[in-house]
């Protein structure tokens, strides 16, 4: 099968890495996978193209950097994609954002109508049934891939009969695996051996519920002086959203801002005793949570988006309401019971190996592609 993944985002963030990892998993299974994406601006950091090229997935088409609907300005991109679909030929074009979706629909129309158009929906909630979305996910769209089975069931309402599949995200199970915490990493973060660490990976933004996080931390710290909160992630409003509120709550000395980690990221995850996640970000697959579970770290999360499907309540962690008291209580339960943490950590790792393996993800998506292509041929579209 020949597959083209299309993204209009030049950044190596959000869905970009999952897209490339999926492409590599499909290639490993013998499929011919290509990619189309824009170049990064001059001097940009963490760009998709060089990262993908390093992993062996060099773009076949270079798109313009743009967003939204551009009927006239996007003609050159549509033509380039159309030629690739026609000359390949390509069986499936897989779009990851709204502009990619529009380009794919137009390119399939001028390039090769037998090509199936599949869209990834990376959010953890249903697609709002606006007239625009009903048009976008109309008859020209042949399949929809969502971040979890529950999300897929919710999104199926956007168009009756639209083939939809929920596929959990995938992580590098060799890089992210259980190991003893590196004492040097903990020391660099200002964490002593006796500290028990609650960790979160999230961009520091108001909608990620840092108000809830810090108030729950205050309650937890009042009962456990050795507990610490480790926050990983960047954010231009970190002072207003997190640092200032932590000072006002009198807990700033027990909140550690670890910034954005790269090479030692897995080691930092393993320095956590409990992982927490409150609101999914731009990647609704909650990749940081999957990585923490692969490292054998039990989680305490809310039920937002796919979180309630990823965390098995009472087995790999705890699911709690969005209030400080139950959140703090769940942290305290795990921080105060090393045997329970170890038990749930082992279950988290076992669940990650079973559900978040890249090979498994590639097989599920490839099977969905086959189903979509078969349905398209049967419908004569």
Do 364 and 328 share a structural domain?
no
Do 120 and 264 share a structural domain?
no
Do 188 and 143 share a structural domain?
no
- What residues make up the domain containing 270? 183-355
Do 349 and 238 share a structural domain?
yes
How would DSSP label each residue in 26-94?
HHHTT-EEEEEEEPPPTT-SSBHHHHHHHTT---SEEEPS--S--TTTTHHHHHHHHHHHHHTT-SEEE
- Whole-angstrom CA distances from 346 to 341, 343, 353 are 9, 5, 11
**262-268 contact pairs (CB < 8 A, 24+):** 264/182, 264/185, 265/232, 266/175, 266/176, 266/291, 266/295, 267/181, 267/182, 267/185, 268/185, 268/189, 268/199, 268/230, 268/232
Answer whether residue 178 is part of any domain.
no
Do 223 and 327 share a structural domain?
yes
For the chain, what is the domain count?
2
Answer whether residue 105 is part of any domain.
yes
What CATH number should be reported for the domain holding residue 292? 3.40.50.2000
Do 285 and 146 share a structural domain?
no
Which pLDDT value is given to residue 70?
A: 85
Which pLDDT value is given to residue 112?
A: 61
Answer whether residue 33 is part of any domain.
yes
Do 189 and 46 share a structural domain?
no
Do 263 and 239 share a structural domain?
yes
Which pLDDT value is given to residue 235?
A: 80
Which pLDDT value is given to residue 197?
A: 97
Which pLDDT value is given to residue 111?
A: 54
Which pLDDT value is given to residue 381?
A: 57
Asked if 20 and 46 count as a contact pair (C-beta separation under 8 A), the reply is no
Answer whether residue 211 is part of any domain.
yes
Answer whether residue 225 is part of any domain.
yes
Q: How many CA within 13 A on the CB side of residue 339?
A: 0
**Cα angle, residue 11 at apex, residues 6 and 14 outer, rounded to 5°:** 80
> Across-strand partners of 6?
36, 95
Do 160 and 240 share a structural domain?
no
pTM comes to: 0.91
Do 278 and 166 share a structural domain?
no
Do 27 and 154 share a structural domain?
yes
Q: Is the dihedral of CA 100, 105, 106, 108 positive or negative?
A: positive
Tokens representing 134 are 């009903």
| Parts of the chain with a pLDDT under 70 | 110-112, 380-381
Do 152 and 45 share a structural domain?
yes
Answer whether residue 176 is part of any domain.
no
Which pLDDT value is given to residue 33?
A: 95
- Whole-angstrom CA distances from 170 to 15, 19, 178, 313 are 12, 10, 16, 20
Answer whether residue 175 is part of any domain.
no
> Across-strand partners of 38?
63
């Amino acid at each position: 099968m020949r597959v083209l993944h299309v993204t209009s985002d030049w950044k190596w963030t959000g869905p970009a890495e999952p897209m490339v990892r999926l492409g590599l998993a499909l290639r490993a299974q013998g499929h011919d996978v290509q990619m189309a994406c824009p170049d990064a601006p001059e001097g940009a950091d963490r760009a998709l193209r060089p990262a993908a090229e390093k992993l062996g997935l060099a773009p076949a088409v270079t798109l313009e950097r743009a967003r939204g609907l551009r009927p006239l300005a996007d003609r050159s991109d549509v033509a380039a994609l159309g030629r690739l679909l026609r000359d390949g030929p390509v069986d499936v074009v897989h779009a990851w954002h709204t502009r990619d979706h529009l380009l794919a629909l137009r390119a399939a129309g001028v390039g090769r109508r037998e090509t199936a158009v599949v869209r990834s929906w990376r959010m953890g909630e249903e697609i709002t049934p606006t007239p625009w979305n009903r048009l976008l996910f109309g008859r020209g769209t042949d399949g929809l891939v969502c971040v979890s089975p529950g999300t897929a069931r919710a999104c199926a309402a956007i168009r009756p009969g639209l083939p939809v599949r929920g596929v959990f995200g995938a992580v590098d199970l060799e890089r992210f695996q259980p190991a003893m915490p590196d004492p040097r990493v903990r020391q660099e973060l200002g964490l002593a051996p006796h500290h028990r660490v609650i960790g979160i990976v999230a961009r520091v933004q108001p909608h990620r519920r840092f108000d809830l996080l810090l108030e729950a931390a205050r309650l937890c710290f009042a009962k456990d002086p050795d507990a610490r909160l480790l926050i990983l992630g960047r954010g231009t409003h970190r002072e207003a959203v997190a640092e200032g509120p932590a000072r006002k709550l009198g807990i700033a000395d027990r909140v550690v801002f670890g910034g954005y980690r790269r090479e030692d990221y897995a080691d930092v995850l393993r320095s956590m005793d409990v992982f927490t996640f409150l609101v999914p970000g731009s990647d609704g697959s909650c990749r940081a949570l999957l990585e923490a579970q692969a490292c054998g770290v039990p989680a305490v999360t809310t039920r937002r988006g796919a979180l309630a499907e990823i965390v098995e309540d009472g087995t790999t962690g705890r699911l709690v309401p969005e209030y400080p008291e139950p959140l703090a209580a769940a942290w305290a339960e795990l921080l105060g019971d090393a045997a329970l943490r170890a038990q749930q950590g082992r279950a988290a790792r076992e669940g990650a190996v079973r559900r978040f393996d890249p090979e498994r993800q590639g097989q599920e998506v490839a099977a969905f592609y086959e189903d979509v292509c078969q349905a398209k041929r049967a419908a004569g579209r």
